[in-house]
Amino acid sequence: MSLTLIPFFVFFLSFLFSLKYLATLCSFKIKLSL
């Protein structure tokens, strides 16, 4: 892997992680409201 791709890879991983966290948070709120 070239050095220029490393920051993009880290950004992509953090983006996926935040999406997963938001999805879990939303589903948890939906379960509470039901």
What values do phi and psi take at 32, rounded to 5? -70, -35
- The pLDDT, as a whole number, for residue 24 is 96
- The pLDDT, as a whole number, for residue 3 is 85
- The pLDDT, as a whole number, for residue 1 is 61
DSSP 8-state secondary structure symbol assigned to residue 4: T
Report pLDDT digits (tens) over 1-34. 688 899 999 999 999 999 999 999 999 999 998 8
DSSP 8-state secondary structure symbol assigned to residue 2: -
